[in-house]
Amino acid sequence: MPVVRAAGTSASGRLRGHAGRACCRHVGVRPAPRASWSCVPPTCRLPVGPRVAWRPALDLYAAAEGATAADQCEAAITGPLSIGGCATACPPVRCGGVGRAASRDSAGTARPSWNVPGDPRRVSGGAASVKVAAWNVPGFATTPAGGLERSRLDGYDALVRPTLADVATRAGVSKSLVSLVMRDEPGASPETRRRVLEAAGELGYHPDSRARLLRSGRSRLLGVVFGIQHPFHADLVTGLYTAARETGYELALSAVTAERDEAAAIASLLQDRCEALILLGPQSTAASLGGLAARMPVVVLARSVRVTDLDVVRTDDAEGLRLAVDHLVALGHSRIALIDGGRAPGAADRRRGYGAAMRRHGLTAHIEIVPGGLTEEDGAEAARSLLLGTSGPDDRPTAVTVFNDRCATGVLDVFNRLGLTGRESISVVGFDDSSLARLAHVNLTTIAQNVPEMTRQAVDRALARAHGTPDPVRAAVISPRLVIRGTTAPPPQR
């Protein structure tokens, strides 16, 4: 709590404006994490809440009646600003109606307690307890509640958030009339509209659209759960922002991290009054997702889920592996391995697509699935395992297709460190076409998921469910495409 140090407070216990003139000639701004009062002149400190208006040449000085110069207690800005540095020749500050009452500390010693009418906030400390009043300071406007009004002074934005009532007071009209003007509805004359807008501009007032939406029962928020460790999820979130903006909605994001599981990420969004949830490649069981969908509209993005009460938008993963194998076969490869994604969303479909494509090309004898995963470390371990399992260059695969781009970068790193470049190179195909694949030093051939289409459909389906008009076709399966870059080439000539 803020503290008042009342050392040397006068016996009369009355605060008034200082008889002399003291003012802030130089105003310095620095972080002030909590309010504090001190009785060391001549810095001015005002306990007016976390946001206050201020300007240079502002007299913030107040003193105890009958106190000596050493006892003069000034104000200090609370919250994010602290103002200091004083000189002469400014109007004085006046604070009225301050009474002192006796209180005792833990040792039983009597201490002064300042009780200032006008503001319900109270600050207290070891020496005194102060209830804050409205201060009569040049440049500040007093609100009907006795607080301080936000204003723009000398080019600086004051930091108290203004209200509709503040605008009404400044413009000299009713709150209902201000509300009409802010909503751009008819009912106000051109002159009144001008005064209201001018007052709002001076105060820096902006309507709270979120509160209005909540009163109407709509938050216009879509909750999104994503994995912070997945580069492709970042691309999906970017696409979701674009798609949501086109519909007038905003996103509330909740990340899955190494120390925060998916259940916690979902639970945090349930408190935000989101109209629907979009889950990116969720790991939760189908039963858990079904239970969530019974509570609110849910769209699963980038995973196949057999739950009738939610929508699914995903890539045709099997088709993506068919494109990868076809590309490598066209280059002349026949020994093509798959570095798998284990139990990750989409991994089973990609295994199935790889096997079907290899059989279609008559390469059943060369089917090889190596355990992998989602990360660079998984890819590096899989690459080492692949190479250790062969007797030499004539026995190892000449190409690998990898579960995702991130895993593929780990594969490439091992191959490059072992000198498997040039004539001895092994072709590598990733999956996703994430930002990682597009880096110049990676330049990865990959299977691109259609992010704009996937995210547009996810937002559209989420809103359709939220509005009670779900798409009769529960799943949208989007075709991928092959992106050829620098990590695939014909096989080495033996």
Give residue-wise pLDDT tens across range 342-372.
Answer: 999 999 999 999 999 999 999 999 999 999 9
| Same domain flag for 356 and 444 | yes
Q: Judge whether residue 153 has pLDDT over 80.
A: no
pLDDT tier, 187 (very low <50, low <70, confident <90, very high otherwise): confident
Mean pLDDT confidence for 129-156: 36
| Same domain flag for 422 and 336 | yes
Q: Judge whether residue 464 has pLDDT over 80.
A: yes
| Same domain flag for 36 and 130 | yes
Helix (H, G, I), strand (E, B) or coil at 165: helix
| Same domain flag for 124 and 2 | yes
Tokens of 43: 């810095």
246 within domain boundaries: yes
Q: Judge whether residue 100 has pLDDT over 60.
A: no
Place of tokens 């106190």: 67
61 within domain boundaries: yes
Q: How many domains does the chain have?
A: 4
| Same domain flag for 193 and 229 | no
220 within domain boundaries: yes
Identify any residues that bridge with 63 across adjacent strands, giving them in sequence order.
Answer: 16
Helix (H, G, I), strand (E, B) or coil at 96: coil
Q: Judge whether residue 6 has pLDDT over 70.
A: no
| Same domain flag for 409 and 430 | yes
Cα Rg, the chain, nearest whole Å? 34
* Residues whose CB is less than 8 angstroms from the CB of residue 405 and which lie 6 or more positions away in sequence, other chains included: 231, 232, 430, 431, 432, 433, 434, 436, 437, 444, 446
Convert the pLDDT of each residue in 264-313 to its tens digit.
999 999 988 899 999 999 999 999 999 999 999 999 999 999 998 999 99
Q: Judge whether residue 24 has pLDDT over 50.
A: no
Please tell me the distance from the alpha carbon of residue 278 to that of residue 455, in angstroms, as a whole number.
Answer: 10
Q: Which phi and psi (to 5°) does residue 364 adopt?
A: -55, -35
| Same domain flag for 124 and 136 | yes
493 within domain boundaries: no
Contact 74, 43 (CB under 8 A): yes
Please tell me the distance from the alpha carbon of residue 194 to that of residue 20, in angstroms, as a whole number.
Answer: 41
From 18, 4, 35, select the one nearest 112 (Cα to Cα). Answer: 4
Tokens of 68: 């000596």
pLDDT at 479: 98
Q: Judge whether residue 434 has pLDDT over 50.
A: yes
456 within domain boundaries: no
| Same domain flag for 221 and 197 | no
| Same domain flag for 2 and 132 | yes
Q: Judge whether residue 215 has pLDDT over 90.
A: no
483 within domain boundaries: no
Domain with 240 in it: what CATH number? Answer: 3.40.50.2300
Contact 96, 108 (CB under 8 A): no
pLDDT at 405: 97
pLDDT tier, 107 (very low <50, low <70, confident <90, very high otherwise): very low
| Same domain flag for 130 and 4 | yes
pLDDT tier, 210 (very low <50, low <70, confident <90, very high otherwise): low
| Same domain flag for 108 and 234 | no
Identify any residues that bridge with 478 across adjacent strands, giving them in sequence order.
Answer: 315
**Between these two residues, 81 and 343, which has the higher pLDDT value?**
343
3-state secondary structure labels for all residues of 332-399: CCCCEEEECCCCCCCHHHHHHHHHHHHHHCCCHHHCEEECCCCCHHHHHHHHHHHHHCCCCCCCCCCE
Identify any residues that bridge with 476 across adjacent strands, giving them in sequence order.
Answer: 313
| Same domain flag for 304 and 326 | no
pTM for this entry: 0.61
pLDDT at 63: 30
From 455, 469, 478, select the one nearest 278 (Cα to Cα). Answer: 455
pLDDT at 487: 95
pLDDT at 212: 58
Please tell me the distance from the alpha carbon of residue 194 to that of residue 190, in angstroms, as a whole number.
Answer: 6
pLDDT at 214: 55
437 within domain boundaries: yes
Convert the pLDDT of each residue in 375-417 to its tens digit.
999 999 999 999 987 766 778 999 999 999 999 999 999 999 9
Return the number of other C-beta atoms located less than 10 Å from residue 189's C-beta.
9
Identify any residues that bridge with 104 across adjacent strands, giving them in sequence order.
Answer: 110
In which element (H, E) is residue 173 found? Answer: none
Please tell me the distance from the alpha carbon of residue 468 to that of residue 458, in angstroms, as a whole number.
Answer: 15
481 within domain boundaries: no
Domain with 180 in it: what CATH number? Answer: 1.10.260.40
- The residue type of 29 is V
Contact 223, 269 (CB under 8 A): yes
**Containing structural domain, residue 173:** 162-207
